[in-house]
Amino acid sequence: MRQAKFNLFYYSQVQLAVMAMVLSAASHIVLSGWLHWQSSLLIGLSTFLTYSVDNLFDWQKDRQYYQAEQGVIQRYHKLSYFLIGACVVGIVLLILQSQAALKLALLTLATLVVFATARFSAYRSLDHNKQETIRGFISNRLFITSIWTFVCVFLPLWYSQAQLDLRAWHIFGYLWLLIFPFAVLWKLEKSEVGLRQALLATRLPLVMQAFCLSAGLLVLIDTLLGIFPALTLVHLIPPATSFLLLRWILQGQRISRPRISLYLGAMLAGSLASIFLHLVF
């Protein structure tokens, strides 16, 4: 029963919505010095909406990974229609509260359309029984990482009409380097065995680890150059924990849902620590 509940939670991808909210909040508080909960909630609702629709479209493909939970997931799908509607209402209300409502509405709509187009293309490829290639896998992960990072960094700034400066692009680079390894792990878990082994035989695992180290190096450089205050050194925690967990997961090819959830939890803990320290100090 506990395993079934965990698998349902993992399938719902609500944890991704929470991560998007926390990362956007951490990004905004570093850049502006204050927490803007409306923009974080908007990003969380938009993320959950996107992945809920994605789950409905991809169920025929994903059901093989949830053999024991098919009944409860199909019941969850019925609830999903209500949750999707609630997300749409919440998104509209949050956008209308913003002083930059038109720009924000267009950006949110454009993001959802881009995601929907990408997912529909992936769904159509399933009908033709095409096997995903290494190049296709990596291109997809690069695309998803870039969209995620762009939304988490820039949408809160536009929503709150905070000043946009060069530091935002430093945060963009930092988050991009952290999100990409996680995005790869998430998709690897439910990739075909042959594709997974082929990907792990490439230099991709080394690149993922190098990205984690590069994110930490970027924090050090920005702090030494005075671009960000010394308090920003707390952002060394996510790259360090991500690097260690990534080595542990990849060396033994322990790519499983509990370990990926642990990886995500470590990222959330580091980001929450950053939010707390910036609020206090």
C-alpha atoms less than 13 angstroms from C-alpha of 107 in its C-beta half-sphere: 21
Is the confidence at residue 83, as pLDDT, over 90? yes
Q: Are 54 and 16 in contact (CB under 8 A)?
A: no
Q: What is the pTM of this model?
A: 0.89
For 220-256, the pLDDT digits (tens) are: 999 999 999 999 899 999 999 999 999 999 887 778 9
Q: Averaged over 12-22, what is the pLDDT?
A: 95
**What tokens were used for 274?**
């950053």
pLDDT value, residue 126: 47
Of the candidates 176, 275, 266, 281, the residue with the CA atom closest to the CA atom of residue 230: 281
Q: Averaged over 185-194, what is the pLDDT?
A: 91
Report the alpha-carbon distance of residue 270 to residue 268 in Å, rounded.
5
Q: Are 194 and 214 in contact (CB under 8 A)?
A: no
Is the confidence at residue 200, as pLDDT, over 90? yes
pLDDT value, residue 116: 56
Q: Are 39 and 26 in contact (CB under 8 A)?
A: no
Q: What angle (nearest 5°) sits at the alpha carbon of residue 67, between those of residues 63 and 72? A: 85
pLDDT value, residue 160: 79
C-alpha atoms less than 13 angstroms from C-alpha of 171 in its C-beta half-sphere: 27
Q: Are 41 and 104 in contact (CB under 8 A)?
A: no
Is the confidence at residue 110, as pLDDT, over 80? no
pLDDT value, residue 54: 87
Of the candidates 210, 217, 201, the residue with the CA atom closest to the CA atom of residue 253: 201
The pLDDT-based confidence of 157 (bands split at 50, 70, 90) is confident
For 30-77, the pLDDT digits (tens) are: 988 888 888 899 899 989 998 998 898 888 888 888 988 888 999 999
